[in-house]
A = this chain, B = another copy of it.
Amino acid sequence: MTPVPAELDLDLARKVLDAQPFSRLLGARVTAFGDGAATLELDLREEHRQQNGYVHGGVLSYAADNALTFAAGAALGPAVLTAGFSIQYVRPAVGAVLRARASVVHAGRRQAVVRCEVFCVDADDADDAGDTETLVAVAQGTVLNSA
């Protein structure tokens, strides 16, 4: 549930994310934003794990929720409100970086339908270009235009 200010671009999206104390707590960053799409990443740390050493499902659902909302903001603009989403876990999540890529399937006047894939990236020198992504979850949701 993340309202987003006007005239959105990557710099502004980063300011919005940085204004989220919970995103700072988790260490999230926006690595791409625009044209109805957004990518969030966080460097995986021990504190993101559940008791078996895998990334906690709550970290994956946070990443999906926020990426869906930012992607919608990149299409609907300033004021968006995530109505809800569904997430399916694909496999246990391990790696150096968690990456959530979301893109708008359709944006209307009232709502946007958005999908998201959440990946783990093994390489410690993970970069959006040449690294190897492993899909760990898929999500989709509806984001409302709250303007």
The residues of A with any CB-CB pair to B shorter than 8 Å are 1-3, 16, 19-26, 46-52, 54, 56-59, 61-66, 69, 81-93, 105-106, 108, 110-111, 113, 115, 135, 137-142, 144, 146
Contact = CB atoms under 8 A, between A and B. Distances in A.
A86 B140 contact: yes
A3 B52 contact: yes
Copy number in the complex reads 4
B105 A56 contact: no
A90 to B, nearest CB: 4
Nearest to A48: B22
5 tightest Cβ-Cβ pairs between the two chains A and B: A58-B62, A86-B86, A84-B88, A19-B51, A22-B56
